[in-house]
Each structure stands twice: as C-alpha cells, then as structure tokens.
C-alpha cells in the first residue's frame, strides 16, 4: 500500500508532464511573491560568497568556502525567512542536497523545459502539498542554470588540484560534467500553511 506522501508524489510525477507551459504556479500570489523574493536574496548571497572566495583565494580554496559557507548562507536565510530553504539537483555534490520525490519530479520537468529551450527565468513551479500528518505546506522551486564560472567546479574539464580537493570532500560527487546552460539544479522552498 502506498502512503499519502507516496501517492501524492506519484500524482505529481504523473501530472507534471501535462504542464508544458513555462510557468505552473499554484498557491496564493503573495506567497509565490514571497518565495520569489527569498530566492533572489538567497541567490545573491551565494553569488557574493562565491565571487569573493574565487577572487581572494582561487578555485581550490573557494571549494572550502562553498563547503562551509553555502550551508551557512542556507541556514541564515531559512532562519530569517521562516521558510525551509535549500538547493537540490538531479546530480548532487553534497548528499545533503539530494532531492525528495516531489523535488525530483519538478527537476525532471525543468529538464524537459530546458530541452525545449524555455527561458530559465520562467522555470519555476509551486504547489500546495498535503503531508503525512495531514498538515499542508506550500512548496516552490526555481531552476538554477549553469554559467561559465560554475564550470571550474562543475564542468568536465576540472583542473586536477580542484578535482582532488572535490574528491576528498565529496567522495560521492555527481555534480560534474555540466555545460553552460545546462540545468544545474534548483532552489527549493517550503512553508507550512495553516
Ligand atoms: C569553487 C568551486 C565551485 C564553483 C565555482 C561553483 N560551485 Fe556549486 N558547489 C560547490 C561545492 C563545494 C558544493 C557543495 C556545497 C555543500 O557542501 O553544501 C556546491 C554545490 C552546489 C549546488 C547544490 C547542489 C549540490 O550539487 O550539492 C548547486 C545548485 C550549485 N553548487 C550550483 C552552482 C552554480 C550555479 C555555480 C556557478 C554560478 C557554482 N555552483 C559554482 C563548488 C562550486
């Protein structure tokens, strides 16, 4: 027997391909806007950390910075916003970022959208889900594109010093081999609803 969550995940998985339009948003417009703003702040903080680390320390040491700072930035933004905020991907570096079933289905949909050439800015998805305990949550995801600067640590031509540092910190690293404009992953947000 499937529990509610599994059933829901299945339904989401089955119904997603139907929404071929760029944006499928469910939920209160204010809540969606709130999610969009949090993503903006979160993306800016991460970008700021990455840029300054790359500039000051170079790629190898910047890995350390991503390793330590990215989770910090994530905790800070979750704390200040009151939402659960994270990043996830179909090919993760940190096992902590592995997608759950709902996220996995949305990421698959983003992949299909990317193949169709839909703009990354329009790749977002939201829904109201019912959790196992019967409570409801608003969930939101926004796609993250691969840019040129990302290739140093997520591309297919990674310098050997960088690669060995990544290996030692992330023995299960799957977040390599990306090209510019590949879907790198997504921001994933959720908030309990009353
Ligand atoms: C200096 C190396 C480095 C660069 C450059 C870099 N990353 Fe990462 N990235 C990492 C590391 C290390 C992690 C794992 C962080 C952790 O331990 O939480 C990571 C994790 C991620 C994750 C979370 C999902 C996962 O795989 O665990 C996403 C999404 C991501 N990076 C996107 C990007 C994007 C987009 C860029 C370019 C704008 C980029 N990264 C540039 C090192 C890098």
- What is the per-residue pLDDT across 52-79, written as a single tens digit (0 to 9) for each? 999 999 999 999 888 989 999 999 999 9
pLDDT confidence of residue 145: 98
Q: Which residues of the chain have a pLDDT value below 70?
A: 1-26
Given a contact cutoff of 8 angstroms between Cβ atoms, the answer to whether 38 and 46 are in contact is no
Most ligand 1 atoms within 8 A of CB, residue of 39, 51, 52, 70 to mutate: 70
pLDDT confidence of residue 20: 34
pLDDT confidence of residue 18: 38
- Residue 2 is assigned to a structural domain of this protein: no
In 3D space, the residue among 123, 125, 163, 127 whose CA is nearest the CA of residue 143 turns out to be 123
- Residue 168 is assigned to a structural domain of this protein: yes
Domain interval for residue 124: 23-193
- Residue 12 is assigned to a structural domain of this protein: no
Given a contact cutoff of 8 angstroms between Cβ atoms, the answer to whether 153 and 177 are in contact is no
Number of domains in the chain: 1
pLDDT confidence of residue 17: 40
- Residue 97 is assigned to a structural domain of this protein: yes
Q: In whole angstroms, give the CA distance from residue 139 to residue 59.
A: 34
Q: What's the CA-to-centroid distance between 66 and ligand 1, angstroms?
A: 7
- Residue 46 is assigned to a structural domain of this protein: yes
pLDDT confidence of residue 131: 86
Among all chains, which residue has been given the structure tokens 């994530």?
A: 74
Most ligand 1 atoms within 8 A of CB, residue of 51, 57, 151, 154 to mutate: 154
Q: In whole angstroms, give the CA distance from residue 19 to residue 173.
A: 31
Q: What's the CA-to-centroid distance between 25 and ligand 1, angstroms?
A: 27
pLDDT confidence of residue 22: 37
- Residue 10 is assigned to a structural domain of this protein: no
Q: Is the pTM of this model over 0.75?
A: yes
- Residue 147 is assigned to a structural domain of this protein: yes
pLDDT tens by residue, 31-50: 999 999 999 999 999 999 99
- Residue 47 is assigned to a structural domain of this protein: yes
pLDDT confidence of residue 11: 47
For helices 160-169 and 59-81, give the axis angle rounded to 10 degrees: 40
Nearest CA to ligand 1 atom 41: 150
pLDDT confidence of residue 3: 59
């Amino acid at each position: 027997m499937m529990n509610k969550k599994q059933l829901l995940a299945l339904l989401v998985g089955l119904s997603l391909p139907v929404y071929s339009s760029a944006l499928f948003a469910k939920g209160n417009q204010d809540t969606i806007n709130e999610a969009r703003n949090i993503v903006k702040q979160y993306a800016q903080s991460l970008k700021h950390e990455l840029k300054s680390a790359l500039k000051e320390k170079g790629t190898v040491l910047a890995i350390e910075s991503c390793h330590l700072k990215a989770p910090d930035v994530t905790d800070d933004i979750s704390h200040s916003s009151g939402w659960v905020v994270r990043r996830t991907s179909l090919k993760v570096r940190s096992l902590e970022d592995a997608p759950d079933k709902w996220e996995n289905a949305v990421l698959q949909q983003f992949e299909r959208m990317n193949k169709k050439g839909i703009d990354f800015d329009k790749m977002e998805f939201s829904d109201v889900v019912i959790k196992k305990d019967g409570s409801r949550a608003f969930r939101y995801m926004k796609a993250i594109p691969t840019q040129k600067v990302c290739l140093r640590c997520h591309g297919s031509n990674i310098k050997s010093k960088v690669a060995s540092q990544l290996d030692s910190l992330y023995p299960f690293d799957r977040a390599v081999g990306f090209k510019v404009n590949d879907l790198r992953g997504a921001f994933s947000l959720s908030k309990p609803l009353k």
